[in-house]
Amino acid sequence: MKTSRMTAFLATGISLVGIVSSVAFGSAVPAQPKPHSGPNCIGDGFLPPNQAKVPISATGNGMTEAKFNAIIDRVEKYYKPIVAAKGANLVFQRLWSDSTVNAFAERSGSEWRVKMYGGLARHSAITDDAFALIACHEVGHHLGGAPKYRGQWAANEGQADYFATLKCMRDVFGSDDNRAIAASLNPPQALIRSCEGSFGDANAIALCQRSGMAGLSAAELMRVLSNDSTISFTTPDPNQVSDTSDSHPAAQCRLDTYSAGAVCQVASSEPVSETDATVGTCSSEKNFKIGVRPRCWYKPAGSTPDPNPTPTPTPSPTPTPPVPGGIARKPTMGGSEAVSVANPNAPVFIDADVSEFSGAGGVYLEISRANQDFSNPNSTLPDKSHLRAASLRGKKVRFYLVPAQALTGRGTYYLRVIPLNAAGTQAVGRASSSSRLVLNR
**What pLDDT score was predicted for residue 312?**
40
Q: Which alpha helices (DSSP H) does 188-330 contain, by range? A: 189-198, 202-226, 251-263
**What pLDDT score was predicted for residue 16?**
25
Please give the full DSSP string across 133-176, using - where no structure is assigned. HHHHHHHHHHH--SSB-TTSSSB-HHHHHHHIIIIIHHHHHTTS
**What pLDDT score was predicted for residue 423?**
77
**What pLDDT score was predicted for residue 79?**
98
**What pLDDT score was predicted for residue 249?**
95
Cα separations in angstroms, 438 against 21, 293, 352, 367, 390: 21, 36, 19, 12, 20
Query: Which of 366, 344, 352, 354 has its CA nearest to residue 415?
Result: 366
Distance CA 56, CA 54 (A): 7
Q: Domains plus CATH for the chain?
A: 3-30+319-439 (2.60.40.10), 41-286 (no CATH)
The distance in angstroms from the start CA to the end CA of the chain is: 38
- Which residues in the chain show pLDDT less than 50? 1-41, 310-325
Q: Which helix (H) or strand (E) holds 365?
A: strand 360-367
**What pLDDT score was predicted for residue 298?**
97
**What pLDDT score was predicted for residue 172?**
97
Cα separations in angstroms, 267 against 171, 190, 200, 300: 10, 22, 13, 21
Q: Print burial letters for 203-214: b (CB count within 10 Å at least 16), e (below 16).
A: ebbbbbbbbbbb
Residue 406, φ and ψ in degrees, nearest 5: -95, -25
**What pLDDT score was predicted for residue 303?**
66
Distance CA 379, CA 101 (A): 39
The strand pairing partners of 419, in sequence order, are 363
Contact at 8 Å (CB) between 40 and 297?
A: no
Query: Which of 437, 370, 364 has its CA nearest to residue 394?
Result: 364
